[in-house]
C-alpha cells in the first residue's frame, strides 16, 4: 500500500519507491505536516520534527497546551487567524470576517488517481489517492485535501477542493494549492526566469528572511517565469543532496513563494496568483485549486528530473501521440514568413520529402487577409487566392509529395481589422470607458464566455473537417490586459483570469477529443506557456522562437529540469540565424535539435546539395537514436550557465538497462591553445565494458564515469560531437 493510515498515532503516511510523506492530526484536530524526504521505516515523525513557541505568536485557545498557528507546520495554512507567515488560503466568510481554522473531519483512501473537474491533472490507475476533509471551526466551509501517490515514479500530487455548505456565498481572496514546511536548515530556491526568445534561464538564490517570489500576472504562465521550482540543500548538485521539485499543473497566473521565518524554518506556497484574484463560492458549490506535482530526491537534481520526465510522459500527456513516434516536420515560418503561395509551399515540401521529412506545417498567413500581423485573426476562413485553391487542394498536393499536412492557428486572439471584431467587438477584453491596449496588433478574446468559445470552436472544426490535417500548432502571441468581462457582475471581476483559463481548457478538451488523430503542439510566442497544464492537452510545446543552436543550449538545459525531451519542439534553422545573426555549423544545429522533436524551420529550396545531404543524414541518425533519446534517462553533464567551469555544454541519455547511451557535447565558447576537456558520464554499469562510436577500444564503465570521456576538438566555431556508448556483450 502506498498510503498508510495509523489510527493510533492519527498519522497518514504516503510512500513511494524512494520517498515518504507524512501528516498527522494533532490534539485539536489541526492537520500537521511532519515529514517529506527519504523513505524510512514508519514512525510518528512529530516525535522528532517538533515545533516550539516564541513571543508574539498567539495561542490557539482550544486546549491548555501552547499551540500557535504561527509556528505549526501545517498542511493547510490560512490567513487571518494568527499565522503571520506565508499562507495558502484567505477566506472571506458569510459574515464578512476574514479567517478560517480547519479541523479534521475524515479521511478516505481509494485506488486510482483522483481527477479534477475542468482542470488538467496527472492520471493513472496504478496510483492511490487520499482525500482528507477538514472543516472550519465556526462556519460550514469544508476543505477536501487531495493527494495522489505514484509509487514507482516518486511522484506525489496535491489539490484542494473548497466546498461552501453555508446558506450564503463566501469569497476566496487567496486560493493556493500547497503549503510545504521544511525541516530546519539552509535552503536554496532554484527557478527559471527569462523573456521572449530566452526562456527558462536557471537562477539559484539562498532563501533568506524575506519572501522569494516567482510569479506571473500576465494571464499565462509566461516566458518570464515558469511554474516550476525547486527547494534544495545549499550544497545540492546534480548527483548529491536533497531536492524538492514542485510543478504547477496550470497555464495561467501563478505564484511560488518561499521564506525563512522568525524561527529559522522555511515554508513554500504554490498556486494561483492571488493578485487580481477574488472568487465567490455560492452555497453548495465548490472551488477547485489546480494540482501541484511534487518529487523529492535525496540524490540531487538529476534523479528528481528523471522522475518528472517519466511521470509527464506516462501520466500527464494523453492520446495516441503520447507514445507514438512523432513525425519529422518542416515549418515554413522562418523560410517564408507571410510571403508564400501554394506553389511555393509545395516546392518546399517536394525538396523536404527527398531528405526524409514526413510532415509539412503551414504557419501563419493562410487565412482571411493575413499578409501581415496587423489583421485577420478571428477570421478562420481560407484565403483561396493566396493558396491558389481550397485548403483541400493544397493538402492533397502536399500529400502527393509524400508528406502529411499541418496548419497553424491562434484561436485565443483577434485583430481589430477582422470581420469577427467588426461584428462582435464585445468578444475582446476591454474595460468600460477605456481604449483596450494592443499587443502585436491584436486583442485577447474573452474565453470566460461560452458564446465566444463556441464561435471559435465552430470555425476551427469547419477548417479541420474540410481536409485531412495531421498536425495543429496552437499559438498565443500576447498576454492579457484590459481585464474585464461583460459576462460577470462588478463584484465578480476578480474571477476573470481564472475563468479565462477554465474556458481555454474547456475548448482544448473539446477540440482534442473531437480530433484525436491530430498531433497538437502548444506555442505561445515560443515557450511562453511551457507548463504541465498545456501538456495535458498537447504532448509537445514549441520550446522557443529562438532557433539558434547555441542559445538553445541554455533554453533546453533549463527546460530539462522538469520537462522531458519528448515535449520540446526543436528545429534546425538557417544561418545567419534570424534572431541573433549567429552562424553555427549545420551539424551542431542538428545535434542540438535531436534532443527534442527534431524538425526544420527554413526554406529548403535555397539549400545547397551538400546541405540537403547533411539534413538527410541527420534525419536518418535521429531516427536511429529516436527511442534512446525520447525515452532514455536524461543526465545533465556540463552546464552552459558557467563558462568559467567549462567551455562545453554536454548531456547524456541512457537506456533503462544501462546497455546504451548517447552523449552530446557542444563547445559554445572558444579560446586559444585550448586545454583538453573530459566529461564524466553517468548511469552506466561500473563493471561493464563499453565501446564509443564503434571503436575497437573498450572502456570500463567506472572509468568513463570517474575519469571521463575525452572530448575531441574540431577547430571550427561551435563544434559538436555525438558519442554513442554501447555495452560489449
Catalytic residues: 531, 611
Whether the Cβ atoms of residue 664 and residue 595 lie closer than 8 Å to each other: yes
Query: Which stretches of 401-495 are DSSP H helices?
Result: 419-423, 450-466
Angle, vertex CA 127, rays to CA 122 and CA 131, nearest 5: 85
Strand partners for 274 = none
DSSP string of 221-285, one letter each residue = S-SSB-SEEEEEETT--SSSB-EEEEEE--SS-EEEEEEE-TTS-EEEEEEE--TT--EEE-TTE
Closest CA to 407 of 324, 323, 519, 325: 519
Whether the Cβ atoms of residue 548 and residue 577 lie closer than 8 Å to each other: yes
Cell numbers placing 316: 500527464
Whether the Cβ atoms of residue 485 and residue 498 lie closer than 8 Å to each other: no
Closest CA to 146 of 282, 3, 6, 34: 3
DSSP string of 150-181, one letter each residue = EGGGTEEEEEEEEEE-SSS-EEEEEEEEEEEE
Cα–Cα distance, 311 to 316 (Å, whole number): 7
The two beta strands, 285-297 and 155-164, are: antiparallel
DSSP string of 30-91, one letter each residue = -EEEEEEEE------GGGTS-----TT-PPPTTSSS---TTTS-BSS-BTTSS--S--SEEE
Q: State phi, psi for 718 to the nearest 5 degrees.
A: 55, 55
Cell numbers placing 141: 466551509
Q: What is the DSSP letter of 11?
A: E
Phi-psi bin for 364: left (phi > 0), alpha (psi -120 to 50), beta?
A: beta
Angle, vertex CA 345, rays to CA 343 and CA 349, nearest 5: 115
Cα–Cα distance, 530 to 570 (Å, whole number): 13
Cell numbers placing 143: 476543505
Cα–Cα distance, 344 to 100 (Å, whole number): 64
Amino acid at each position: 500500500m502506498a498510503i498508510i493510515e495509523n489510527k493510533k498515532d492519527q498519522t497518514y503516511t504516503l510512500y513511494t519507491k524512494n520517498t515518504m510523506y507524512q501528516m498527522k492530526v494533532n490534539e485539536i484536530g489541526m492537520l500537521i505536516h511532519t515529514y517529506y524526504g527519504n523513505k524510512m521505516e514508519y514512525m510518528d515523525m512529530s516525535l522528532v520534527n517538533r515545533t516550539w513557541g516564541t513571543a508574539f505568536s498567539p495561542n490557539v485557545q482550544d486546549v491548555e497546551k501552547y499551540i500557535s498557528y504561527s509556528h505549526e507546520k501545517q498542511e493547510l495554512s490560512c490567513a487571518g487567524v494568527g499565522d503571520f507567515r506565508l499562507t495558502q488560503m484567505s477566506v472571506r466568510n458569510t459574515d464578512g470576517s476574514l479567517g478560517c481554522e480547519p479541523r479534521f473531519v475524515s479521511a478516505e483512501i481509494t485506488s486510482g488517481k483522483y481527477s479534477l473537474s475542468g482542470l488538467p491533472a496527472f492520471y493513472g490507475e496504478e496510483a492511490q489517492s487520499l482525500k482528507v476533509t477538514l472543516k472550519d471551526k465556526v462556519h460550514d466551509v469544508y476543505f477536501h485535501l487531495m493527494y495522489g501517490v505514484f509509487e514507482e515514479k516518486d511522484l506525489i500530487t496535491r489539490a484542494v477542493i473548497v466546498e461552501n455548505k453555508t446558506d450564503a456565498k463566501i469569497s476566496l481572496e487567496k486560493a493556493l494549492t500547497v503549503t510545504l514546511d521544511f525541516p530546519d536548515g539552509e535552503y536554496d530556491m532554484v527557478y527559471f526566469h527569462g523573456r521572449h526568445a530566452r526562456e527558462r534561464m536557471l537562477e539559484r538564490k539562498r532563501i533568506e528572511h524575506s519572501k522569494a517570489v516567482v510569479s506571473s500576472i500576465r494571464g499565462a504562465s509566461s516566458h518570464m517565469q515558469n511554474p516550476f521550482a525547486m527547494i534544495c540543500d545549499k550544497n545540492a548538485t546534480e548527483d548529491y543532496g536533497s531536492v524538492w521539485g514542485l510543478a504547477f499543473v496550470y497555464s495561467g497566473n501563478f505564484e511560488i513563494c518561499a521564506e525563512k521565518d522568525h524561527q529559522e524554518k522555511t515554508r513554500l506556497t504554490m498556486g494561483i496568483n492571488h493578485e487580481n484574484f477574488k472568487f465567490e463560492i455560492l452555497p453548495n458549490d465548490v472551488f477547485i485549486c489546480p494540482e501541484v506535482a511534487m518529487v523529492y530526491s535525496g540524490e540531487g537534481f538529476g534523479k528528481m528530473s528523471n522522475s518528472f520526465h517519466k511521470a509527464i510522459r506516462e501520466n500527464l500527456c494523453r492520446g495516441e501521440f503520447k507514445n507514438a513516434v512523432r513525425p519529422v516536420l518542416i515549418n515554413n515560418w522562418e523560410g517564408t514568413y507571410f510571403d508564400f503561395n501554394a506553389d511555393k509551399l509545395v516546392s518546399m515540401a517536394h525538396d523536404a520529402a527527398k531528405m526524409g521529412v514526413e510532415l509539412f506545417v503551414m504557419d501563419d498567413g493562410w487565412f482571411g487577409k493575413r499578409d501581415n500581423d496587423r489583421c485577420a485573426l478571428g477570421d478562420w476562413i481560407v484565403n483561396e487566392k493566396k493558396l491558389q485553391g481550397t485548403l483541400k487542394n493544397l493538402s492533397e498536393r502536399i500529400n502527393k509529395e509524400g508528406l502529411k499536412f499541418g496548419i497553424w492557428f491562434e484561436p485565443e486572439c483577434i485583430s481589430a481589422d477582422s470581420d469577427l471584431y467588426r461584428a462582435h467587438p464585445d468578444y475582446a477584453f476591454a474595460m468600460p470607458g477605456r481604449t483596450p491596449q494592443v499587443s502585436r496588433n491584436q486583442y485577447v478574446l474573452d474565453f470566460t464566455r461560452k458564446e465566444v468559445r463556441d464561435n471559435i470552436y465552430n470555425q476551427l472544426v469547419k477548417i479541420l473537417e474540410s481536409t485531412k490535417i495531421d498536425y495543429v500548432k496552437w499559438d498565443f502571441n500576447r498576454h492579457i490586459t484590459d481585464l474585464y468581462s461583460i459576462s460577470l457582475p462588478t463584484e465578480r471581476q476578480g474571477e476573470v483570469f481564472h475563468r479565462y483559463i477554465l474556458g481555454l481548457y474547456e475548448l482544448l478538451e473539446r477540440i482534442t477529443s473531437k480530433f484525436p488523430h491530430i498531433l497538437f503542439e502548444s506555442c505561445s510566442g515560443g515557450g511562453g506557456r511551457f507548463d504541465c497544464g498545456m501538456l495535458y492537452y498537447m504532448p509537445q510545446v514549441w520550446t522557443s522562437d529562438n532557433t539558434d543552436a547555441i542559445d538553445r543550449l541554455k533554453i533546453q538545459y533549463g527546460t530539462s529540469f522538469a520537462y522531458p525531451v519528448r515535449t520540446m519542439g526543436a528545429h534546425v534553422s538557417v544561418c545567419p540565424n534570424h534572431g541573433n545573426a549567429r552562424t553555427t555549423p549545420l551539424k551542431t544545429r542538428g545535434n542540438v535539435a535531436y534532443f527534442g522533436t527534431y524538425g526544420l524551420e527554413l526554406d529548403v529550396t535555397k539549400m545547397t546539395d551538400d546541405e540537403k545531404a547533411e539534413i538527410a543524414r541527420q534525419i536518418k541518425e535521429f531516427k536511429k537514436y529516436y527511442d534512446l533519446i525520447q525515452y532514455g534517462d536524461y543526465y545533465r553533464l556540463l552546464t552552459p550557465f558557467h563558462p568559467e567551469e567549462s567551455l562545453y555544454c554536454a548531456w547524456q541519455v541512457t537506456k533503462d538497462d544501462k546497455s546504451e547511451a548517447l552523449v552530446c557535447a557542444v563547445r559554445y565558447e572558444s579560446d586559444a591553445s585550448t586545454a583538453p576537456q573530459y566529461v564524466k558520464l553517468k548511469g552506466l554499469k561500473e563493471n561493464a565494458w563499453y565501446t564509443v562510436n564503434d571503436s575497437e577500444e573498450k572502456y570500463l564503465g567506472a572509468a568513463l564515469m570517474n575519469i571521463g570521456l575525452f572530448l575531441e576538438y574540431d577547430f571550427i566555431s561551435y563544434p559538436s560531437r555525438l558519442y554513442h556508448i554501447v555495452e560489449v556483450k
